Structure 1
Amino acid sequence: MENILDYTLEELSNWMKDNGESAFRAKQVFSWIYKGVWIFEEMKNIPKSIGEKLNNHFYIGIPKIIEKFESDIDGTQKLLLGFKDGNLIESVIMRYKHGNSICISTQVGCRMGCTFCASTLEGRIRNLTSGEILAQIIVAQNQLGERISNVVLMGSGEPLDNYDNVTKFLELVNADYGLNIGQRHITLSTCGIVPRIYELADKESSITLAISLHAYSDEIRKNIMPVANKYTIKEVLDACKYYVDKTGRRITYEYALVSGINDSADDAKSLSKLLRGMLCHVNLIPVNEIKENTLKRPSKKIIEDFESILKDEGIEVTVRREMGNDINAACGQLRRSYIETQK
């Protein structure tokens, strides 16, 4: 059985023709799915005979909402989603005046080993398929009753470690027969898998690339991000410059501020020197404290001072607005707590 959400319209049209049906039926089927009808027999203009063929070959891979939490502070919603194989992922819906955004996962778990992230503590279980990545948005829109207009691939998993499925997802989510979310409304966050950055650049897409940098030196970066043992900061930045040249898109550099590790005034000045002259924006992220490690977030004053130094050095910078603090909205936390309670 195949997940029909992994198919493009062209692929499903070809399947219809190969199985003796009219190609236009493919668009009808997708229309029902995006309307929230996830049982073939309930698709009213699909003949019973076609529904039986579909049932024999496909399933509609919409995950179940296992748990849902909504913040009393800002309306952020966190969904714990379960797939048919029993694996769990998380998605976070953030509501802004300019529209709804969703942070989605690309893998069950993660093997990158970043010390500040709860998603990576048990390693990668498996990749999500393109349809499973897409389904997070479909189920979120359905339960929200409103359109999702912005997508961030920044949940569990490293998107460029699941490159083929993620790039196909970018095709599916942009399709006019489906969600029709433009690439300029999509951000992909990566820890910096250099060869894949070059490949993504060659596609000349319009997505925003966000690099999890978190340090100005390889020595510091290696202490918190194992990927730094494979790719140096220079290699990452060279790939980023290539991406900017090919796409014309500004890159966001994410910088998780960790008390006593990368939050000093000297760190800020060194980071400014590293990025000076690049088409970029720095997103400062006070680290999320998790019980599995001892990393602490800096004080409010240190965060403000760090931001001020970057601004004074001519670097565009913002401090990430924290959403859903009362519901543990950082990726990986809900999944881990649920698994522990089930044990």
Structure 2
Amino acid sequence: MNNELIKFSEDELCTLLASWGYPRFRGKQVFEWVHHHHASSFDEMSNLPKDLRKRLADEFPLNAIALLDRQVSQDGTRKYVVRLSDGTLVETVGMPVFKKDGSIDRLTVCVSSQVGCPMACRFCATGREGLTRNLEASEIIAQVALVQKDFKNRVSNIVVMGQGEPFLNYEEVLSALRILNSSQDFNIGARHITISTCGLITGINRFAEEPEQFTLAVSLHSAIQRKRDALMPNVSQQPLPLLKEALRAYTQKTNRRVTFEYLLIEGANDSEEDLQALIEFCEGLLCHVNLLPVNTVDGSPLKPSSEETANHWVTSLSSHGIETSFRRSRGSDIDGACGQLKNKMKRVQD
């Protein structure tokens, strides 16, 4: 039996409740509360009998999340720290793009897939704390529902780029994305849903076989093995030649490009040698390079590259036919680095 109510189809819910002695239409009501209204408690399901609500609560306790902190950036980005039912904390980010009249054109939610992260990347505040546990699909979906309700605007895009390595929580992440994509739920287009991985080859190979047209991003950060290993020590078992081979197979299988996330870090991965290595790595791949300035993390010596360096990289990559963009960090004035706000809240609580 599914351990989360949100994973049941409408027909499965009708059948389940019929087996409990209730009319089948009760299953449709429960489905609507869970998938259309995104109820955070059974008490909200006001048109259900109390005895049914109690049984549902006993059989399928909701993985409710509670808002612990919310910060709003000057650019409109909102960053949330949420407490899960077991007391652990994760971060979620809502990133709006505005029309000229001030209304929201697009709303992207960056969700976390794990509490903490085992990858220990040097530039990431979350990596310092290690892994606590995987999130369940309902906890991932609840992050999106929270942001949608807070903005009072439909979520149009999802990026699984928050805390955690999503391919280490593959089943729950894919379950969540399929529900978010479903026309019976958030109805977010598959091509507007992106998974970001540190480059786990087995996950990439598996992802290539999925029928949905979800998109893939890879945190690269260096195309020189020794430098990448220094920045991302727990990905050293995923050598760059094998990663490129997996990505070539992925693009050939899906006919979808892969996006490379590349943090430009002064003196660490922004030399001319680094640039040439990235150009060579991209050769023969259907890809897009997304350059970003590294976020400042408390206690970290890493600093973003100069604007002049960033512009040079964009020009050079583009001149080699590599589609490239430079994206400034959203919410940099509100503890923008992943994990930084959450870690601050934990220190306050302690």
TM over 0.5: yes
1:101-149 residue CA offsets vs partner (Å, 9 max, x unmatched): 1100000000011111111101000000011111100111122211111
Alpha-carbon distance between aligned partners in 2 of 1:301 and 1:315, rounded to the nearest angstrom: 19
Residue aligned with 1:59, SS = coil
1:151-175 residue CA offsets vs partner (Å, 9 max, x unmatched): 0000000000111111111222122
| Matching residue of 1:32 | 33
| Matching residue of 2:97 | 96
1:234-285 residue CA offsets vs partner (Å, 9 max, x unmatched): 1111111121122111100111111111101232122112212311000001
Return the offset for 1:48.
3.0
Residue aligned with 2:57, SS = helix
Alpha-carbon distance between aligned partners in 2 of 1:203 and 1:37, rounded to the nearest angstrom: 29
| Matching residue of 1:50 | 52
Which residue among 319, 330, 337 is the counterpart of 1:323?
Answer: 330
Answer whether contact 1:67 1:81 (CA < 8 A) is retained.
Answer: yes
Task: Find out whether 1:220 has 2:227 as its counterpart.
Answer: yes
Residue aligned with 1:147, SS = coil
Greater alpha carbon shift after TM alignment, 327-336 vs 101-110: 327-336
Alpha-carbon distance between aligned partners in 1 of 2:338 and 2:87, rounded to the nearest angstrom: 19
| Matching residue of 2:269 | 262
| Matching residue of 1:147 | 154
Residue aligned with 2:149, SS = helix
| Matching residue of 1:62 | 64
Identity %: 38
Answer whether contact 2:229 2:236 (CA < 8 A) is retained.
Answer: yes
Unaligned stretches of 5+ in structure 1?
none
| Matching residue of 2:81 | 80
Unaligned stretches of 5+ in structure 2?
99-104
How does the TM-score come out when normalised to structure 1?
0.94
How does the TM-score come out when normalised to structure 2?
0.92
Alpha-carbon distance between aligned partners in 2 of 1:90 and 1:178, rounded to the nearest angstrom: 23
Return the offset for 1:22.
3.9
Alignment of 1:87-126 (within 5 A): 87-97=88-98, 98-126=105-133
Alignment of 1:128-147 (within 5 A): 128-147=135-154
Alpha-carbon distance between aligned partners in 2 of 1:255 and 1:10, rounded to the nearest angstrom: 45
Alpha-carbon distance between aligned partners in 2 of 1:275 and 1:269, rounded to the nearest angstrom: 10
| Matching residue of 2:102 | none
Alignment of 1:262-301 (within 5 A): 262-301=269-308
One-letter amino acid of the counterpart of residue 146, structure 2: V
One-letter amino acid of the counterpart of residue 207, structure 1: F
One-letter amino acid of the counterpart of residue 78, structure 1: K
Alpha-carbon distance between aligned partners in 1 of 2:242 and 2:18, rounded to the nearest angstrom: 47
One-letter amino acid of the counterpart of residue 57, structure 2: N
Task: Find out whether 1:340 has 2:347 as its counterpart.
Answer: yes
Which residue among 306, 311, 329 is the counterpart of 1:304?
Answer: 311
Identify if the C-alpha distance between structure 1 residues 196 and 24 changes in structure 2 by more than 3 Å, giving closer, same or farther: farther
| Matching residue of 1:240 | 247
Answer whether contact 1:205 1:247 (CA < 8 A) is retained.
Answer: no
Residue aligned with 2:244, SS = helix
